[in-house]
Amino acid sequence: MKENKTPQKDAYQLILDAIDTGIYKPGDRLVESDLAERFGVSRTPIREALQRLETQQMLTRDGRSLIVASLDHNQLAELYAVRAELEALAARLAARHATPEEMSVLRQLVEEDRRIVDDPLALARANRRFHKQVHLASHNRYLVQQLDMVHRTMALLATTSLAAEGRGEAALDEHEAIVRAIEARDEPAAAEALRIHLSHAFETRLKLDVEEVPLKG
């Protein structure tokens, strides 16, 4: 084994992060030896991580090869439906349980994210951070676990809806509305603000998907 190998690295998380950040996109083939070389880990944990990701339907078989899975229209609609309900619940519980410090962090995140509104990729990372903070502010570990699973599947979306013209600014305004409702301890308003936010995100993504479909004839 090479000296630079670091077995303590979590192969599963390394591959998942690579999918989430777009290093590997839907349809890309994942080769065990290539992954081991890229991440500096032995092939055994890579193999185990690939098996785990296949079980979680993050990867799919193409003959003997494993490729990053993709979501069709129905899967996308189902994913957003579940996400909207779970995240609305998280926002409702955050309005009930969030500490003053957690509210302050949410407020700071919105203000900081306005500085990167013209950078879709950076804003996408910041968006995940904002939503994760709302999840944690719910103070419900089981809900957070379910939302982690949903957001893991979101990594299979090849593009971010925040890349659409004007969507970044609108999304931050929607984040602002969520934070205001949580700060006011208004549980129904927080849940509704989150649902509206995800409805707009889903609508934007559907438009982006239509624009990417090649015309025939």
What is the mean predicted confidence (pLDDT) over 29-39? 92
All CATH 1.20.120.530 domain ranges in the chain, comma separated: 73-212
Pair of tokens at residue 144: 């957070």
From residue 143, give the alpha-carbon distance in Å to each of 20, 83, 85.
21, 11, 11
- Distance between CA 74 and CA 12 in Å, rounded? 27
H runs (alpha helix) in the chain: 11-20, 32-39, 43-55, 73-97, 100-113, 120-137, 141-154, 167-183, 187-212
Residue 215's pLDDT is 39
Tens digits of per-residue pLDDT, 13-28? 899 888 887 789 889 9
**What CA–CA distance (Å, rounded) separates 214 from 198?**
26
Joined tokens for residue 5: 């190998």
Q: Three-state SS for 30?
A: strand
Query: Is the pTM here over 0.85, yes or no?
Result: no
127 close to 162: Cβ distance less than 8 angstroms: yes
pLDDT one-digit tens code per residue, 93-151: 999 999 999 999 999 999 999 999 989 888 988 999 999 999 999 999 999 999 999 98
Q: Give the other-Cβ count within 10 Å of 13's Cβ.
A: 11
CATH of domain 11-68: 1.10.10.10
Domain with CATH 1.10.10.10 in the chain: 11-68
- Taking only Cα atoms into account, the Rg of the chain, rounded to an integer number of angstroms, comes to 19
Count of CB atoms situated within 10 Å of the CB of 145:
10
**Among the four given CATH numbers 1.10.10.10, 1.20.120.530, 3.30.460.10, 3.20.20.10, the one describing domain 73-212:** 1.20.120.530
Residues 164, 59: Cα–Cα separation, whole Å: 27
